[in-house]
Amino acid sequence: MKSTESFRSVVIFGGAGFIGSNWAHHLLTQTEAKVHIYDNLSRRGVHHNLEWLQKTAGRSGRLQITIGDVRDSAMVERVTRYATEIYHLAAQVAVTTSISDPRHDFEVNVCGTFNVLEGARKSGNHPFVLFTSTNKVYGDMAEHALARDGRRYRYVSTSGISESQPLDFHSPYGCSKGAADQYVRDYARMYDIPTVVFRMSCIAGERQFGNEDQGWVAHFLYTGMVGNPIVIYGNGKQVRDVLYVQDLVKAFEAARAKIQVTRGQVYNVGGGVANTTSLLELIEEIEKITRHKVEYLYEQPRLGDQLVYITDCSRLHADTGWHPVTSVRQILEGIYHFRKQNPHYFPTVEEPVAGRIVVGALPLQRTA
């Protein structure tokens, strides 16, 4: 049932992407908000998300789409002029890409975020701004001793990482997202804009077109479903906590609803201790769901990878009452059924070449 509330004009940068489209769908179906999606359509599969959202909005007049880049300051300023809420999800998201092209990473993640903040400031409306940052801002966290337990690593002296963890970037991607989230935080202090930063762990769920560099849970599942070998960088005992995208959507609403408490704050957001998995453990779960053996290959660890990252979500819970409710198994089952129900969303050519996965490109369809 849609809620009754004051007028909401929402701009979502990166709104055609995995998280953005799920958030936009929630707004269109559960609220009366007007939704403006701003996206450059650079990610594989996102045009399917736009078509889904257009079908959802129908003739309501509540959905607007702008094809643009966050590096275009003039266009960003135009689309934020009347916004009451801004969700900045657009980013360069791969550590590997940041290493090979750090300038592009900087321009998208730092300059793009600066453009969004300036758009919010110049509008004079003091819109709510939520920025999705990353656990990579904490670097390798070498001060936390690790031990091996069977098919996973674990922390020796802590259960999860809180916001008190020192920033220590360790990759161009960590640097760019860390710089951006500090800009977002400081705009709350200097310009009285109610901003919130989410430093997120692994997010997974339906409408995720994962690859090796981003969306690895979906990538592992999809690769296993078509019978290709999965590439594991390292020994596979690396651990992450996984958060279901619909639980993240609820966290967005919780942060906005408690804006008098959350404004200017930074929160670590993830699945928490109850929703952790190693790469090898995830493969075991995939085998149970697909009911066939999944092959995998080992390659050298990648630069900037954290052996363990588990989120301590207690601060966000204390401030808003939010907590994750969906298990890793339930998340995998949701992604599995999404792919089964939408085979036309996926490339027809997926085959291993020289021990790596090559995924055929989908045609890009621009929507004005």
Query: What residues are annotated to the active site?
Result: 173
36 vs 263: CA distance, rounded Å: 23
Q: Sort strands 276-278 and 195-200 into parallel, antiparallel or unpaired.
A: unpaired
**∠ Cα 276 279 283 (to 5°):** 105
Looking at the chain, which runs of residues are DSSP E strands?
9-13, 34-39, 63-67, 85-88, 128-134, 146-149, 152-155, 195-200, 202-204, 230-233, 239-244, 265-269, 276-278, 296-299, 308-309, 350-353, 356-359
3-state secondary structure of 302: coil
The radius of gyration computed from the CA coordinates of the chain, to the nearest angstrom, equals: 20
Note whether 55 and 62 are within 8 A (CB).
no
Structure tokens given for 354: 């020289």
Residue 33 has phi, psi (to 5 degrees) of: -60, 145
187 vs 87: CA distance, rounded Å: 15
DSSP output for 71-111: T-HHHHHHHTTT-SEEEE------HHHHHH-HHHHHIIIII
157 vs 147: CA distance, rounded Å: 10
